[in-house]
Structure 1
Amino acid sequence: MEHFLIEQHLNFKEQYYSVVDIETTGNRMSNNRMTEICIVRMLGNKIEEKYTTLIDPESLIPDFITGLTGIDNEMVASAPLFSEVAEEIERMTRDCIFVAHNVNFDYNIIRNEFKRIGFDFKRKKLCTVRLSRELIPGMNSYSLGKLCNSLGINLENRHRAEGDTDATVTLFQKLLEIDEDGTEFSKFLKGSSKEGTFPPHLDRNLFHNLPDAPGVYLFKNQARKVIYVGKAISLKKRVLSHFYSKTSKSYLMCQEIHHIEHIPTGNELVALLQEADLIRHYYPKFNSAQKKPRKAYQILHYKNQLGVIQFAVGLVKSYDYSVVTHYNRAHAVEQLEQLCEDFNLCPRYCSFKTQADCSSHYKIKNCKGVCKKEELVSLYNIRATQAIASLHNQNPNYIIKQPGRTAEESCFVMVKDGEYQGYGYVDQYASIASISDCEDFIDRKVANYHTNQIIRSYLKKYGEQNVILEHTPDEPAYSD
């Protein structure tokens, strides 16, 4: 065993490494071009050769990048194209382990540049961020600047390729000394290992503590601000999938993740509903779906100055008396037209554009004349009240029973008058058979377009499975 460790130690000390840093036109891995590169070729911890050059990115450098790096369009105008320096870059990294701080960014940018000229660039990789987290635990930050400051490493010309590479070389030499038997180096170099994809600033214990159960997870940055909310049937597997993703969005998000919190839900339905609620609450940076607000429309009813029950389509909360929520105004108008036709209502008193009387409406022709005083208002209002009752009947009260977070509890989702109210958890032996049974346990939430769609999708997929419908007697909308 001792002989094996000595051999492993010698292998790592005698291995060739290329320590690399690049500057680019942006911070994404796709559609991002190189502006500068520095490579230090090492044998073990000994520097053998250095190569650095500006590169013409063949695209404009944004002002914010110039402000960060100092590299502007004029500086790269006479610089070589990548195709002109590719052979030297390939030579400097040949038979070497590719080393960088946040290695996936530099490595993938270089791979993409080689792809553009028809060359498949492949190297083994080591990340000094992840190695530092393992070998130098407990640092407040593992960014290159703060790490160098904490360790007393000289860092000049920050955000220039040569300055950052020189500092990374010194850091790498320290890491080689600390990992005397090469245990951590070996772990990170295993072809089957996924360690290289792990967020560099995340405590692995936070990930390992995630359960293989349904719930919601929140990624937070260093300031503990929520930057992403997601839901999962298996929290651990879903979170891990973000770390394996090679998209620019996932890479950039992983660079900002410092903390993970999770909320177990016991079932996918509540996970979906809670995800929608949290996205609406936090408006996270990396959530693109569900952030755009949707206007909600309702069929409203009230008594006008003539005492006639008037209907209209309006935005939610415009009036106290409103039923039937739609997230498309045309759908609300269509339902009101059908209501008008079914109950012989007056188009004029349903707020449809007509002339002096209602005869000009393109579709509805069965008004009994209340608008021309040919029908008593009281008789008309009876039909209008029946129409209101029919709207309420289209929006039943029901609860959807779901598994709880443990074997000792069950979960319910409440819908009242067709509108999502919230969810709750109760002892599995508790009697939950009606809306009133749930009132004391519910965690109330605000319905929106997305929760509406989640409930609809569930019912479409599962029908009345696990649904307890509550029939309530019709109540008159108005009394004269």
Structure 2
Amino acid sequence: MYTIIDIETTGNGIKGNRITEIAIFKYDGSQIVDEYTTLVNPECPIPYFITGLTGIDDQMVQHAPTFSEIAQDILNITEGCVFVAHSVNFDYGVIKEEFRQIGIDFTRKKLCTVRLSRKLIPGLASYSLGKLCTAVRIPLTDRHRARGDAHATALLFEKLLGEPEAEAVFKKFLNARSQEATLPPHLPKSVFDKIPPKPGIYYFKNQKGEIIYVGKAINLKKRVLGHFYDKSAKEIQLCSETADIDFKLSGSELVALLMESAEIKRLFPPYNRAQKRTVRQYAIFNYEDRNGIQHLAYNTIKGVPNPLKVFYNQTDCRSYLETLCKEFSLCPRFCHLQQTNAACSHHEITTCEGICRGDEPVAAYNKKVEEAIAHLKEGASEIKIIKEKGRTADENAVVLIAEGMYRGYGFIDKDTSIGTLDDIEAFITPQKNTVETESILTAYLLKNSEKIYTSPVT
């Protein structure tokens, strides 16, 4: 038994989207045996553009029942039935959310007539309800009203059941392990099946083949599936436009982050918001106070005249300064890691030799600060090579940083001998050094010192 359902709502998305009309046709596999149609009071204003599309306005639903008042009717007519809709995840998601808000868990098996149509009636230019009905000569009246669209979907569903391969296709789609009901309506399952559970980047493409989103993941398959389960308005819209997915393996999360950053900068996909925003920068700097003591401190980049080292979040900046303080036995108070006018008493840094208590000569302390500054400047001129996992067991991924600048990444067979910088650069795909790549690498370098090779080439 099936229930073919269509709803009209107050807008796109799932959460915050309320039903204004619902139509349900109960179908036993050969004929319609029951029908339920009603306007619904959404208990919120209906936007003008929705009224323009559906004709449903606030006055029409003023005296209509609320969803909580019709909930039992919906439960009764759909009980024991497969939930069928055109782009089923939208209708099912909105109804499930309405039930959740009144404390009821609504769960039904699902079938999507878009996905079924793409499988059983391949080769059409469009699978929107209107164009699909025109293509297969199904009458569609009262468009963008729940009963009109639901009735057309019921006629389409009947036609799909009569297709030669229908039995096998329906059985496959209803298999809980097939994930057919979870995938976007225009995405072939064969495309999703090719995505491996490995690190890399992925590209969502629309029906024109245009890239609309780029993402990265440690597990590509799991992350892509996460988009399909996410019921935020942005994700629903993204998935509704997705017709193809491509991917590239990276071997590691670090290389995936760098690859993703480069592709977003190159392509500027419409659904990528990250890396289009301004990143707030912080910097370490030094100054001398009225007592002749050299201080190390940090601030936003705008407040630093001569930055010694730049970071892209406050946590990394402070963490690096703490490491410097420990390594050169500096005072937390004079590194601005502890706000006090008394002697320092930092919970973690205990290497201070007494400058804050008057036990250490100013000249001796300043010399240590100068050594720390020299260390900072020396690090900026070094060649750093990061070695990470490759895409296969036979290779390594390498990331090249020279003179403080990100140069690119590459993949090298484990049995290849590397002796000079030129040897490494032959395998490197050159990349731009950007605010985002510096932020990614700064955070990585702070946490993964064992994977960094400093000045190994001549």
Distance 1:265 1:87, change over 3 A: closer
Matched, 1:425 2:419: no
Question: What do the CA deviations read for 1:139-180 (whole angstroms, capped 9, x no partner)?
Answer: 233221222222222222322112211210111010111156
2:212 corresponds to: 227
Question: What do the CA deviations read for 1:355-382 (whole angstroms, capped 9, x no partner)?
Answer: xxxxxxxxxxxxx9xxxxxxxxxxxxxx
Question: What do the CA deviations read for 1:201-234 (whole angstroms, capped 9, x no partner)?
Answer: 0122322222343211111222333332222233
Distance 1:415 1:183, change over 3 A: same
2:400 corresponds to: 414
Q: 1:39 aligns with which of 4, 16, 24?
A: 24
2:388 corresponds to: 402
Distance 1:323 1:155, change over 3 A: farther
Q: 2:111 aligns with which of 109, 122, 126?
A: 126
Q: CA deviation at 1:125?
A: 2.1
Q: Percent identity?
A: 48
Aligned equivalents of 1:386, 1:458: Cα separation in 2: 24
1:61 corresponds to: 46
2:350 corresponds to: none
Aligned equivalents of 1:81, 1:249: Cα separation in 2: 27
Map 1:68-87 → 2, pairs under 5 A = 68-87=53-72
2:340 corresponds to: none
The answer to whether the 8 A contact 1:141-1:201 is kept is: no
Distance 1:328 1:104, change over 3 A: closer
Aligned equivalents of 2:79, 2:156: Cα separation in 1: 22
Distance 1:91 1:391, change over 3 A: closer
Map 1:61-460 → 2, pairs under 5 A = 61-178=46-163, 182-296=167-281, 324-327=309-312, 391-395=376-380, 396-406=382-392, 409-460=395-446
Aligned equivalents of 2:152, 2:197: Cα separation in 1: 40
- State the number of aligned residues: 411
The answer to whether the 8 A contact 2:312-2:439 is kept is: no
Aligned equivalents of 1:104, 1:164: Cα separation in 2: 16
Q: CA deviation at 1:189?
A: 2.2
The answer to whether the 8 A contact 2:216-2:256 is kept is: yes
Instruction: Using structure 1 for the length normalisation, give the TM-score.
Output: 0.72
The answer to whether the 8 A contact 2:3-2:24 is kept is: yes
Q: Is the radius of gyration larger for structure 1 or structure 2? A: 1
Question: What do the CA deviations read for 1:54-85 (whole angstroms, capped 9, x no partner)?
Answer: 11100111233223322222222232222333
The one-letter amino acid of 1:156's match is T
Distance 1:291 1:179, change over 3 A: farther
Moved more, 418-427 or 48-57: 418-427
The answer to whether the 8 A contact 1:194-1:244 is kept is: no
The answer to whether the 8 A contact 2:250-2:256 is kept is: yes
Aligned equivalents of 1:437, 1:314: Cα separation in 2: 39
2:4 corresponds to: 19
Distance 1:103 1:387, change over 3 A: closer
Distance 1:204 1:94, change over 3 A: closer
The answer to whether the 8 A contact 1:402-1:411 is kept is: yes
Q: CA deviation at 1:100?
A: 0.8
The answer to whether the 8 A contact 2:206-2:241 is kept is: yes
Aligned equivalents of 2:104, 2:447: Cα separation in 1: 48
Aligned equivalents of 1:208, 1:132: Cα separation in 2: 20
Instruction: Using structure 2 for the length normalisation, give the TM-score.
Output: 0.76
Task: Give the SS at the match of 1:166.
Answer: helix
